[in-house]
Amino acid sequence: MLRRFAAAGRSSAKLVAPLGCLVSRQKHTLPDLPYDYAALEPHINAQIMQLHHSKHHATYVNNLNVVEEKYKEALAKGDVTTQVSLQPALKFNGGGHINHTIFWTNLSPNGGGEPKGELMEAIKRDFGSFANFKEKLTAVSVGVQGSGWGWLGYNKEQGRLQIAACANQDPLQGTTGLIPLLGIDVWEHAYYLQYKNVRPDYLKAIWNVISWENVSSRYAACKK
Protein backbone atom coordinates (compact mmCIF):
# COMPACT_ATOMS: atom_id res chain seq x y z
CA MET A 1 0.00 0.00 0.00
CA LEU A 2 2.74 2.45 0.97
CA ARG A 3 4.60 1.68 -2.25
CA ARG A 4 1.62 3.08 -4.11
CA PHE A 5 1.81 6.30 -2.06
CA ALA A 6 5.52 6.67 -2.72
CA ALA A 7 5.10 6.14 -6.43
CA ALA A 8 2.53 8.89 -6.65
CA GLY A 9 4.87 11.24 -4.79
CA ARG A 10 7.71 10.54 -7.20
CA SER A 11 5.44 11.20 -10.19
CA SER A 12 5.11 14.84 -9.13
CA ALA A 13 8.23 15.90 -11.04
CA LYS A 14 6.28 16.93 -14.15
CA LEU A 15 2.61 16.90 -14.98
CA VAL A 16 3.03 17.58 -18.65
CA ALA A 17 6.00 15.40 -19.63
CA PRO A 18 4.32 11.98 -19.26
CA LEU A 19 1.25 12.97 -21.24
CA GLY A 20 2.58 11.42 -24.43
CA CYS A 21 2.30 8.03 -22.71
CA LEU A 22 -1.36 8.39 -21.79
CA VAL A 23 -2.46 5.88 -24.39
CA SER A 24 -1.03 2.94 -22.44
CA ARG A 25 -1.33 4.09 -18.82
CA GLN A 26 -3.81 2.76 -16.30
CA LYS A 27 -6.34 4.96 -14.56
CA HIS A 28 -5.47 6.64 -11.28
CA THR A 29 -7.12 5.25 -8.17
CA LEU A 30 -7.81 6.62 -4.70
CA PRO A 31 -5.14 5.21 -2.35
CA ASP A 32 -6.19 3.58 0.89
CA LEU A 33 -5.26 5.34 4.11
CA PRO A 34 -2.71 3.53 6.31
CA TYR A 35 -4.92 4.22 9.35
CA ASP A 36 -8.61 4.58 10.25
CA TYR A 37 -10.47 7.85 9.77
CA ALA A 38 -10.70 8.30 13.56
CA ALA A 39 -7.04 7.45 14.18
CA LEU A 40 -5.83 11.06 14.24
CA GLU A 41 -8.34 12.25 16.85
CA PRO A 42 -8.49 14.49 18.78
CA HIS A 43 -6.19 16.51 16.51
CA ILE A 44 -8.10 15.86 13.27
CA ASN A 45 -11.53 14.34 13.69
CA ALA A 46 -12.99 11.39 11.81
CA GLN A 47 -15.61 13.42 9.96
CA ILE A 48 -12.95 15.66 8.43
CA MET A 49 -10.78 12.72 7.46
CA GLN A 50 -13.64 10.81 5.85
CA LEU A 51 -14.82 13.79 3.80
CA HIS A 52 -11.32 14.88 2.94
CA HIS A 53 -10.24 11.45 1.70
CA SER A 54 -13.39 9.82 0.32
CA LYS A 55 -14.90 12.96 -1.22
CA HIS A 56 -12.29 15.65 -1.92
CA HIS A 57 -9.34 13.44 -2.85
CA ALA A 58 -11.64 11.07 -4.73
CA THR A 59 -12.92 14.00 -6.79
CA TYR A 60 -9.40 14.96 -7.85
CA VAL A 61 -8.73 11.37 -8.89
CA ASN A 62 -11.95 11.06 -10.88
CA ASN A 63 -11.50 14.41 -12.59
CA LEU A 64 -7.88 13.63 -13.41
CA ASN A 65 -8.92 10.44 -15.17
CA VAL A 66 -11.56 12.32 -17.18
CA VAL A 67 -9.13 15.06 -18.18
CA GLU A 68 -6.42 12.60 -19.18
CA GLU A 69 -8.92 10.73 -21.37
CA LYS A 70 -9.79 13.99 -23.10
CA TYR A 71 -6.10 14.75 -23.49
CA LYS A 72 -5.48 11.34 -25.02
CA GLU A 73 -8.22 12.01 -27.57
CA ALA A 74 -6.75 15.43 -28.36
CA LEU A 75 -3.31 13.88 -28.85
CA ALA A 76 -4.71 11.30 -31.23
CA LYS A 77 -6.37 14.05 -33.27
CA GLY A 78 -3.36 16.36 -33.17
CA ASP A 79 -5.63 18.97 -31.55
CA VAL A 80 -3.06 21.24 -29.92
CA THR A 81 -5.64 23.86 -28.94
CA THR A 82 -7.54 21.36 -26.80
CA GLN A 83 -4.29 20.02 -25.33
CA VAL A 84 -3.37 23.52 -24.21
CA SER A 85 -6.85 24.24 -22.85
CA LEU A 86 -6.71 21.11 -20.68
CA GLN A 87 -3.46 22.08 -18.95
CA PRO A 88 -5.07 23.99 -16.04
CA ALA A 89 -7.35 21.04 -15.23
CA LEU A 90 -4.42 18.62 -15.42
CA LYS A 91 -2.43 20.81 -13.06
CA PHE A 92 -5.28 21.26 -10.58
CA ASN A 93 -6.55 17.70 -10.42
CA GLY A 94 -3.16 16.07 -10.93
CA GLY A 95 -1.70 18.30 -8.25
CA GLY A 96 -4.59 17.51 -5.93
CA HIS A 97 -3.95 13.79 -6.34
CA ILE A 98 -0.18 14.12 -5.87
CA ASN A 99 -0.45 16.44 -2.87
CA HIS A 100 -3.00 14.40 -0.96
CA THR A 101 -1.22 11.12 -1.64
CA ILE A 102 1.84 12.59 0.08
CA PHE A 103 -0.22 14.25 2.81
CA TRP A 104 -1.86 11.04 4.07
CA THR A 105 1.50 9.36 4.62
CA ASN A 106 2.91 12.48 6.28
CA LEU A 107 0.36 11.90 9.07
CA SER A 108 0.26 9.14 11.66
CA PRO A 109 -1.56 8.38 14.92
CA ASN A 110 1.94 7.64 16.27
CA GLY A 111 3.33 10.94 15.02
CA GLY A 112 4.37 14.13 16.71
CA GLY A 113 7.52 14.98 18.60
CA GLU A 114 10.68 15.73 16.65
CA PRO A 115 12.58 14.01 13.85
CA LYS A 116 15.85 12.16 14.47
CA GLY A 117 19.02 11.36 12.63
CA GLU A 118 19.98 12.94 9.30
CA LEU A 119 16.73 14.86 8.91
CA MET A 120 17.11 16.55 12.29
CA GLU A 121 20.71 17.45 11.48
CA ALA A 122 19.62 18.94 8.16
CA ILE A 123 16.87 20.96 9.87
CA LYS A 124 19.36 22.35 12.38
CA ARG A 125 21.81 23.15 9.59
CA ASP A 126 19.30 24.94 7.36
CA PHE A 127 16.99 26.55 9.94
CA GLY A 128 19.10 26.83 13.08
CA SER A 129 16.87 24.65 15.23
CA PHE A 130 13.75 22.51 15.05
CA ALA A 131 11.81 25.23 16.86
CA ASN A 132 12.82 27.78 14.21
CA PHE A 133 11.85 25.40 11.42
CA LYS A 134 8.46 24.67 12.99
CA GLU A 135 7.78 28.37 13.49
CA LYS A 136 8.71 29.22 9.88
CA LEU A 137 6.65 26.44 8.27
CA THR A 138 3.70 27.33 10.48
CA ALA A 139 3.97 31.01 9.54
CA VAL A 140 4.21 30.25 5.83
CA SER A 141 1.19 27.93 6.06
CA VAL A 142 -0.88 30.45 8.05
CA GLY A 143 0.02 33.09 5.48
CA VAL A 144 -1.29 31.24 2.44
CA GLN A 145 -3.99 33.47 0.98
CA GLY A 146 -7.14 31.54 0.18
CA SER A 147 -6.38 27.87 -0.42
CA GLY A 148 -3.07 26.09 -0.78
CA TRP A 149 -0.27 24.21 0.92
CA GLY A 150 2.75 24.81 3.11
CA TRP A 151 5.74 22.59 2.27
CA LEU A 152 9.09 21.41 3.45
CA GLY A 153 11.04 20.48 0.36
CA TYR A 154 14.52 19.41 -0.64
CA ASN A 155 16.55 21.44 -3.12
CA LYS A 156 18.66 18.77 -4.77
CA GLU A 157 20.86 21.20 -6.68
CA GLN A 158 21.79 23.13 -3.54
CA GLY A 159 21.66 20.16 -1.19
CA ARG A 160 19.49 21.87 1.39
CA LEU A 161 15.99 22.00 2.82
CA GLN A 162 13.61 24.80 1.89
CA ILE A 163 10.17 25.96 2.97
CA ALA A 164 7.68 27.01 0.33
CA ALA A 165 4.01 27.72 -0.17
CA CYS A 166 1.96 26.68 -3.19
CA ALA A 167 -1.43 28.07 -4.16
CA ASN A 168 -4.47 25.91 -4.75
CA GLN A 169 -3.34 22.38 -5.70
CA ASP A 170 -0.11 23.38 -7.45
CA PRO A 171 2.31 20.48 -6.88
CA LEU A 172 5.54 21.48 -5.16
CA GLN A 173 8.02 19.74 -7.45
CA GLY A 174 6.22 20.62 -10.67
CA THR A 175 5.95 24.26 -9.54
CA THR A 176 9.23 24.96 -7.74
CA GLY A 177 11.52 22.02 -8.48
CA LEU A 178 11.74 21.18 -4.78
CA ILE A 179 11.26 17.53 -3.85
CA PRO A 180 8.29 17.30 -1.43
CA LEU A 181 9.03 15.95 2.04
CA LEU A 182 6.23 17.32 4.22
CA GLY A 183 3.03 19.01 3.07
CA ILE A 184 0.43 20.78 5.17
CA ASP A 185 -2.95 21.20 3.54
CA VAL A 186 -4.48 24.58 4.42
CA TRP A 187 -7.58 24.33 2.28
CA GLU A 188 -10.54 24.92 4.58
CA HIS A 189 -11.89 21.44 3.87
CA ALA A 190 -8.87 20.11 5.80
CA TYR A 191 -9.92 21.75 9.07
CA TYR A 192 -13.08 23.88 8.98
CA LEU A 193 -15.50 21.34 10.50
CA GLN A 194 -13.32 21.19 13.61
CA TYR A 195 -11.41 24.47 13.77
CA LYS A 196 -13.82 26.75 11.87
CA ASN A 197 -11.88 29.64 10.33
CA VAL A 198 -9.06 29.56 12.91
CA ARG A 199 -6.29 28.14 10.75
CA PRO A 200 -3.55 28.73 13.39
CA ASP A 201 -5.32 26.33 15.81
CA TYR A 202 -5.38 23.62 13.13
CA LEU A 203 -1.69 24.18 12.40
CA LYS A 204 -0.84 23.96 16.08
CA ALA A 205 -2.69 20.64 16.30
CA ILE A 206 -1.33 19.02 13.15
CA TRP A 207 2.22 18.88 14.52
CA ASN A 208 0.96 16.24 16.96
CA VAL A 209 0.32 13.80 14.12
CA ILE A 210 3.23 14.47 11.77
CA SER A 211 4.97 11.21 10.87
CA TRP A 212 8.64 12.07 11.10
CA GLU A 213 9.44 8.50 10.15
CA ASN A 214 7.77 9.08 6.79
CA VAL A 215 9.37 12.50 6.29
CA SER A 216 12.78 11.07 7.17
CA SER A 217 12.30 8.23 4.67
CA ARG A 218 11.44 10.74 1.96
CA TYR A 219 14.53 12.78 2.81
CA ALA A 220 16.78 9.74 2.66
CA ALA A 221 15.29 8.64 -0.67
CA CYS A 222 15.71 11.99 -2.41
CA LYS A 223 19.40 12.16 -1.48
CA LYS A 224 20.26 8.93 -3.34
In the annotated binding site for Mn(2+), the residues are 52, 100, 185, 189
Do the beta carbons of residue 169 and residue 96 sit within 8 Å? yes
Question: Quick one: which of 111, 126, 122, 106 has its CA closest to 183?
Answer: 106
Binding-site residue ranges: 52, 100, 185, 189
Asked whether the beta carbons of 65 and 27 are under 8 A apart, the reply is yes
CB distance 205 to 101 below 8 Å: no
Rounded CA-CA distance 174/116 in Å is: 28
What's phi and psi for 217, nearest 5 deg?
Answer: -65, -40
- Please provide residue 182's backbone torsions phi and psi, each rounded to the nearest 5 degrees: -145, 125
